[in-house]
Amino acid sequence: MAIEFENLTKVYQTGLRKKTVTALTNFSLSVEEGEVFGFLGLNGAGKSTVIKILLGLIRPTRGNATIFGQPGSDPAARHRIGFLPENPYLYDHLNPNELISFAAGVAGKNHHQVISRGRELLERFSLTEVMTQPVRLLSKGMTQKMGFIMAIIHDPDVIILDEPMNGLDPLGRRIVADIIIELQARSKTVFFTSHILNDVSRLCRRVAIIHRGSLHYLGRVDELYDGAFRYRIRLKGPVSELTGISATITGNMESSELLCPQEELIPTIEQINKAKLMILSIEPEREELEDVFIRIVTEGQNEPIS
């Protein structure tokens, strides 16, 4: 396994009264080598805590986090890692060239070994013109791109990206997505969090959803859509006599729309027939990943996976 979390629990003690806050509860997850893995969750769900534990920035109260079998707290294990933190803050007075040199140097790579790759990435992200400018003069998006370049410049085996699309324009997002696809083609492991679910569904084969510190979903993206089909039924006239159906109803005096889950289709049609209403159309619809995600984290349909 490239990345493995085993029964991670993290309890913080905050304030003078040492109030306990549980950030993670028995979190277990494995990411295979060469996999692009999406890690989803609302703000404060525990995503960054999981990543920080993996990188040895914080210690788990219980459990283990390993990179290729070695604990992430061991600097030797981090040798194979590239990391982009959320909203990266780079050194104000250094320029992109110097940051690339530093990233390559501490990874044990010669500056000349990575200079061509660095140039290629800077060109790809249209940062060539600012490569000798201090980072403090770069825009938020440019800083994000620089952070991304620093994460991959040393050609690591595992790339951990915390909100890589944050602050990027559509072109920047496309380039990051393309690079992730290229990395996957070279059997690199990419573990990333994102709030842009379109990117997740496009890039990842498997995703995990964390909510309130617990794993709520783990599986393939296409499996996540199972049961995520619904039907849009258009009826003539207002709907007032339908009872006992679990469908969302909208409409006016002329027509109405019912949005019902896949398993409720037959009972709903029976009710419509009973009420002698005219069906104008029935269209199947697939829920967006966003809707599935919100359903999982807010409606509690999926209990924590132990």
Give the footprint of another protein on this chain (CB under 8 A). Answer: 12, 52, 55-59, 75-76, 78-79, 81, 83, 85, 88-94, 98, 102-103, 105-108, 134, 147, 150, 160
Q: Give the residue with the Cβ less far from another protein, 72 or 224.
A: 72
Residue closer to another protein (CB basis): 56 or 304: 56
Closer CB to another protein, residue 11 or residue 282?
A: 11
Note whether 36 and 199 are within 8 A (CB). no
Q: Alpha-carbon distance 300 to 156, whole Å?
A: 37
Nearest distance from C-beta of residue 12 to another protein, angstroms: 7
Looking at the DSSP bridge assignments, the partners of residue 12 are 21
Smallest gap, in angstroms, from Cβ of residue 3 to another protein? 14
Cβ 90 to another protein, closest distance in Å?
7
Q: How far is the CB of 58 from another protein (least distance, A)?
A: 4
If the CB atoms of residues 49 and 268 are measured against another protein, the closer one turns out to be 49
CB of 57 to another protein, least distance (A): 4
- Tell me the closest approach of the beta carbon of residue 177 to another protein, in angstroms: 22
Closer of 16 and 76 to another protein (Cβ): 76
Q: How far is the CB of 110 from another protein (least distance, A)?
A: 11
